[in-house]
Amino acid sequence: MKYPISPDLVAEKNDQLTPDLQKDFDALGEQLERRGLNIQALTEQAEAFDIAVPSWGTGTGGTRFARFPGVGEPRNIFEKVEDCAVINQMSGCTSEISPHFPWDAVDDFTELKAHSDQYGLGWSSVNSNTFQDQPDQERSYKYGSLSHADAAVREQAVAHNLQVIEWGKQLGSKVLTVWVGDGSNHPGQQHFQRAFERYLASAKAIYQGLPNDWEMHIEHKMFEPAFYSTVIQDWGSNILAAMETGERCKSLVDLGHHAPNVNIEMIVSRLIQFKKLGGFHFNDSKYGDDDLDSGSLHPYQQFLIFNELVDAEHRKQEGFAPAYMLDQSHNVTDPIESLINSATEVQRSFIKALLVDRNALENYQNDNDAIMASNTLKAAFNTDVSPILAMARKNKNAAIDSLATYRASGYRQQAAKARPDTGGSRSGIV
């Protein structure tokens, strides 16, 4: 196995931090034992936790106003794989990459697979792109893609998705994620039902080409790039499309794709109940699809989402196997640091949700004891599980203090030397 950062440096840093970590871990272990919880078992679940990294998140993001590139930016998917290897080596919980096509398309996928294999990285869901026109494209997606009024444009978009599946097969992926920006900017511009009917026919055509051991995940979004209506605008349109399309077609929840204050954890519960929860794009936001770092603004909401997920596992909910992934844009931070941080913050929400006393909660719910039900969740959320997350990283030879070890490695500075700024495009968002 190849490591982008010297394992000796990681071990040296971990050795310095282990004595204090052990003290904190033992103290937390005692506290949790009094609550009937086993810290070793929780640590093993933290070690088993994994969340995929978006290839497009490793470059610096921007807005329509500007993008301020960082140093040592990855210039192609091979360098993005190296950066993802750093994120996994430091966090211990990001062993898969989600690519976006054609941004990450290569001539030789066997070479790319060999490149990721040497770092022990796998490939999670593949993402299609019919929200931009490519230089060699015959028909434009200006007025939509899978729901476009022109059948030839829809066929082009379906063909692209089938191509993305073929590329995904070569990487070992098992999921196709379909997000389209289709919609309208003016009332009257689009007939809502006819557009949705066209979308459903296209989705079924893609589903026909889906291998039997694959899933297709549909991603809804309230607005942008369309600013009046969006064909798959909310979870309602999403679950209807997933139900119409097929059993292995499910709904994906991108946290930033909802209006402020929408109860996302209840949407998650509905999708779980109807066996249509395909997965997540974790991020955080304050206004729109801000794609900010996960848990950086609404850690309690993220915890409440995992409370629904852990509850489903606890109830052995049928057809429950959601895929976890980050989907963020890093405009002012080192993307590697943000992705390490965010992966750990999502892992933190998961472990905290495992601390919930579900029997007590159910009794308070049945007794309509709102305050004690709420406090049962808060007791879990207010527990600092950092020693468990750090011990899980130590046990996996990842970094106890991920950011400090990453910075001490000088990886970004080395990348800046190895990746002279060609000023060329950095395929990715903006």
* Binding interface with ligand LRH (CB under 6 A): 56, 127, 179, 219, 221, 254, 281, 289, 327, 429
Provide the mask over 207-246, with x wherever binding to Mn ion is found by CB under 5 A and - wherever it is not. ----------------------------------------
Q: Which residues contact 332 (CB under 8 A, 6 or more apart)?
A: 68
Q: Min. distance of Cβ 289 from ligand LRH in angstroms?
A: 5
Q: Which among 96, 94, 87 is positioned nearest to 116, based on CA atoms?
A: 96
Q: Min. distance of Cβ 202 from ligand LRH in angstroms?
A: 17
If one counts every other C-beta atom within 10 angstroms of the C-beta of residue 205, the result is 18
Q: Of 190 and 328, which has the nearer Cβ to ligand LRH?
A: 328
Q: Of 158 and 391, which has the nearer Cβ to ligand LRH?
A: 158
Q: Of 54 and 387, which has the nearer Cβ to ligand LRH?
A: 54
- The DSSP line for 237-287 is HHHHHHHHH-TTEEEEEEGGGS-TT--HHHHHHHHHHTT-EEEEEB-B-SS
Q: Which two tokens stand for residue 402?
A: 């991920």
110: amino acid identity, one letter = T
- Closest-approach residue to ligand LRH (CB): 179
Give which of Mn ion, ligand LRH, none residue 303 binds (C-beta under 5 to 8 Å, depending on kind): none
Contact indicator for 240, 231 with CB cutoff of 8 Å: no
Give which of ligand LRH, Mn ion, none residue 284 binds (C-beta under 5 to 8 Å, depending on kind): none
Among 281, 393, 394, 412, binds Mn ion (CB under 5 A): 281
- Environment class of 48 (CB within 10 Å of its CB; exposed 0-12, middle 13-18, buried 19+): exposed
Q: Is 284 in the site for Mn ion (CB under 5 A)?
A: no
Give which of Mn ion, ligand LRH, none residue 289 binds (C-beta under 5 to 8 Å, depending on kind): ligand LRH
Q: Is 291 in the site for Mn ion (CB under 5 A)?
A: no
Q: Min. distance of Cβ 188 from Mn ion in angstroms?
A: 29
Give which of ligand LRH, Mn ion, none residue 393 binds (C-beta under 5 to 8 Å, depending on kind): none
378: amino acid identity, one letter = K
Q: Min. distance of Cβ 363 from ligand LRH in angstroms?
A: 39
d(CA 188, CA 181): 18
Give which of ligand LRH, Mn ion, none residue 198 binds (C-beta under 5 to 8 Å, depending on kind): none
Q: Min. distance of Cβ 128 from Mn ion in angstroms?
A: 12
Q: Of 60 and 125, which has the nearer Cβ to Mn ion?
A: 125
User: Can the peptide bond before residue 387 be classed as cis, meaning omega within 30 degrees of 0?
Assistant: no
370-386 core/surface letters (b: 16 or more CB in 10 A; e: else): eeebeebbeebbebebe
Provide the mask over 310-339, with x wherever binding to Mn ion is found by CB under 5 A and - wherever it is not. -----------------x------------
Q: Is 254 in the site for Mn ion (CB under 5 A)?
A: yes
Q: Of 73 and 289, which has the nearer Cβ to Mn ion?
A: 289
The dihedral sign for the CA sequence 69, 75, 77, 81: negative
User: Can the peptide bond before residue 260 be classed as cis, meaning omega within 30 degrees of 0?
Assistant: no
Which residues form the interface with Mn ion (CB under 5 A)?
Answer: 254, 281, 327
